[in-house]
Amino acid sequence: MIGTVIEKELKEYRRDGRIMGIGFLILLLIIISLATGWSVNSEQQIQAAFAQQADQEVFLEQGEKNPHSAAHFGRMAYKSAPPLSVFDPGALPYLGQIIWLEGHVQDPAMFRPAEDSLDLRRLADLSVAGVLTFLLPLLIFLVGYGSFAAERERGTLRQIMSFGSGVSLPYIGKLSAISFVGISTAVVAIVVSLFLAISMPDNTPVSDILTRGIGLILGYGLYVVIFAAIALFVSSRSKNATSAMLLLLSIWALSVVVIPRLAANIAENMYPSPDGSAFWQNYSDEMAASRLDPESAEYKEVERIVLSMAFDRELTLEEIPTLEYNQRGVRLEVSEYMAAQAFGKLYTDLYNTYENQKNVRRALSFLSPTILLQHFSSTISGTDVTAHRHFANAAEIQRQIIIKELNEDLIRNDVGGSGPYVSGEELWETIPDFSYTPPSISLSLTGASWDFLLLLIWAVIAISVSWNVAKKQKIM
């Protein structure tokens, strides 16, 4: 019997020109999003690989110079776009893709596409995830607004319930039919995105991409069920189909458009992100506060550690005066050591701010499941702030390796010469290239677990409430 109800509902949906119209619009937007996402992603993948290779050649061919000048010449760390950014670019357009690895400074990522884009280019930032997140609820509401209200107006609800099943048969059948429309739309979009992601020139294992795809299907499936249950709740409570439609449109505007934006503003006000000038002022303050007296025991201990690493053996404080080394090189490496401590604290504070903002938005998600899906989708796609932090940490490790290698060359070899000390390609070739492996699916699953659990709770509560309301609705 449930199958009969589902078949009847789906047949009515196909006959409704409004549903077919918005379904066609969603399909068209998904196709455009996939085309632009695949094009942008492929271009970024190719450019990142080419730029990394070009950076290596430029560094090797920089000629002879002092190693400290080479440290300021620097290298670049390029982040290729994750394969599933074709589905959900997440925070990628706002966090940058290239980090300059130079002496003294842990730079933030540069070249944020959102900053470089002209207004018209923003149209190309349309994503499959954005289309599904914003328009799936609208499609579901259009499909489900008359489920009970229209049946009552036509007098057919009494006939359905006269089969002796009460409201359970039509409720389960209608919930299944509405959810089928939304979930099948999401599944088609996600599966096509997976094929495109797998075809990208990237070394991400296929199993990793497929696992992420399964996660996305589960998350978007829960999202659809939540709004299907809300549609049935409103349709059960409304006097007629028109009032049900108007109320559902209001709920869509609030839960999908207004509340997520409001939650982001509240989170930013509670935990404001520092602007560039404030960040660098904090760095100056941190360095001034942590600067060591060159005559202090703590400074001498840092100096001993630096020299031990430069000479590749454990030194004692008593041995140091007997060594020949370049003191400027030691001072530079000690400065790098202290700067790394200061930058580590500042960037930890910055990412904690982002995490606190996310927690505030998550706390407000009891008003809108859209907030949870936005977190979940970008995390599973590997395009959230946590994934960017993984890249930034890898780039900082590479920066420290480069600068340490150059400073240690100064420490060991710029001793007693008659002229300016220079190094050449022989030293530059010892600097390893930046090789980055993006985080595995396990990091994404851990990061998305709370959002998935809350989506599940949302679905259970929405179904329970709508079921109880549907049972008590007046048939006439």
φ/ψ (deg, to 5) at 238:
-80, 150
Tens-digit pLDDT profile for residues 12-45: 888 888 888 888 889 999 999 988 888 888 887 7
pLDDT band at 230 (very low <50, low <70, confident <90, very high): very high
Which residues neighbour 342 within 8 Å (Cβ) at sequence distance 6 or greater?
A: 283, 286, 287, 290
pTM of the model: 0.87
Tens-digit pLDDT profile for residues 384-427: 999 999 999 999 999 999 999 999 998 988 887 677 888 888 88
Residue at 54: amino acid letter: A
pLDDT at residue 118 in the model: 43
Cβ atoms 362, 374 nearer than 8 A:
no
Tens-digit pLDDT profile for residues 104-137: 888 777 655 555 544 434 444 589 999 999 999 9
Which residues neighbour 303 within 8 Å (Cβ) at sequence distance 6 or greater?
A: 320, 330, 334
Burial zone of 65 (CB within 10 Å; 0-12 exposed, 13-18 middle, 19+ buried):
middle
pLDDT at residue 124 in the model: 45
Q: What share of the chain is helix, strand, coil (3-state, %, to 5)?
A: 75, 5, 25
Sign of CA dihedral 55, 58, 61, 64: negative
Nearest one of 117, 361, 372, 382 to 262, comparing CA atoms: 361
What six digits make up the tokens of 163? Answer: 């089969």
Alpha carbon distance 302, 307 (integer Å): 9
Alpha carbon distance 48, 471 (integer Å): 58
pLDDT band at 164 (very low <50, low <70, confident <90, very high): low
Cβ atoms 475, 424 nearer than 8 A:
no
What angle, rounded to 10 degrees, do the helices at 327-363 and 259-270 form? 140
> Is the pLDDT score of 98 beyond 60?
yes
Find the angle CA(20)-CA(22)-CA(28) to the nearest 5 degrees: 100
Alpha carbon distance 442, 207 (integer Å): 12
pLDDT band at 163 (very low <50, low <70, confident <90, very high): low
* Share above pLDDT 70 across residues of the chain, in percent, rounded to a whole number: 94
Which residues neighbour 24 within 8 Å (Cβ) at sequence distance 6 or greater?
A: none
Element (H, E) at 100: strand 98-101
Nearest one of 466, 6, 460, 469 to 230, comparing CA atoms: 466
63 Rama sector, left if φ>0, alpha if ψ -120 to 50, beta otherwise: left
Tens-digit pLDDT profile for residues 244-289: 999 999 999 999 999 999 999 999 999 998 777 888 888 788 777 7
Q: How high is the mean pLDDT of the chain?
A: 87
pLDDT band at 183 (very low <50, low <70, confident <90, very high): very high
> Is the pLDDT score of 345 beyond 70?
yes
Own/partner contacts of 259-265, CB < 8 Å, gap of 24 or more, are 259/364, 259/367, 259/368, 259/370, 259/371, 260/361, 260/368, 260/370, 260/371, 260/374, 262/364, 263/360, 263/361, 263/364, 263/365, 263/367, 263/368, 263/371, 264/357, 264/361
Residue at 98: amino acid letter: I
DSSP type of residue 292? P
pLDDT band at 450 (very low <50, low <70, confident <90, very high): very high
What six digits make up the tokens of 20? Answer: 């077919």
